Amino acid sequence: DTAVSQTPKYLVTQMGNDKSIKCEQNLGHDTMYWYKQDSKKFLKIMFSYNNKELIINETVPNRFSPKSPDKAHLNLHINSLELGDSAVYFCASSQVNRVGETQYFGPGTRLLVL
Amino acid sequence: DAKTTQPPSMDCAEGRAANLPCNHSTISGNEYVYWYRQIHSQGPQYIIHGLKNNETNEMASLIITEDRKSSTLILPHATLRDTAVYYCIVRVGNFGNEKLTFGTGTRLTIIP
């Protein structure tokens, strides 16, 4: 029944590793997003995809590569993990063809890089 | 950069109305005011949004001043579960580019 789901919920890994976070939405929305919330609790957008096409890329290092196999899924792959990548990553989705549409967020993935 | 200013924290007694202010003096004519909240360790949750008219839903009311330079979110009967960080956001971008820029928000604590 979960509208926006993310896996895993927790991810602890070593510096230099490559990891992926998965996101799925069952709301039938056209647009999906990735946000990063750092240790100071600032929540910032990273990417958005609309119907599998990249719409927003907020100057994120190219070690981060989003992949959207279909409009219900937006995965985030991170290469060569660094300590500064430790954060909570939130996926969200929305339907953009209506004025004032809202975003629905997933529960977050807590990434800790050691 | 966030286009809104909110007090960093507020307290409210349980059962009373919580009134959370937000200043957005540079808002453009076609920009909406959104409110989200983030309960500890959870993903942000949509509360309400509006353009120029006051809005009400099952969660809250939104009062926007006539000049649209400020707004107030009202939780009519606050409960302990309303303790959260509340974000006032001015929506930027047009269709297909619905970026939400979160500021530092207001940490609302409901006191028993």
A43–B32 CB contact, under 8 Å: no
Task: Read off the tokens for B21.
Answer: 């202010």
Which positions in chain A touch B95 (Cβ < 8 Å)?
A: 96-97
pLDDT (tens, 9 = 90+) of chain B, 112 residues, equals 558 999 999 999 999 999 999 999 989 888 889 999 999 889 999 999 888 889 999 999 999 999 999 999 999 999 999 999 999 998 865 555 567 788 889 999 999 9
Q: Using CA coordinates, name the residue in chain B closest to A110.
A: B41
Considering only CB atoms, A103 lies closest to which of B46, B96, B97, namely B46
CA distance B100 to A28: 20
Cβ of residue B110 closer than 8 Å to a chain A Cβ: no
CA distance A56 to B112: 43
A49-74 pLDDT, tens digit each: 888 888 878 878 999 999 999 989 99
Considering only CB atoms, B49 lies closest to which of A31, A102, A106, namely A102
Written as one string, the DSSP assignment of A82-102 is: -GGG-EEEEEEEE--SSTT--
The three-point CA angle A23-A15-A83 to 5° equals 80
- Min Cα–Cα distance to chain B from A105, Å: 5
Which positions in chain A touch B102 (Cβ < 8 Å)?
A: 42-44
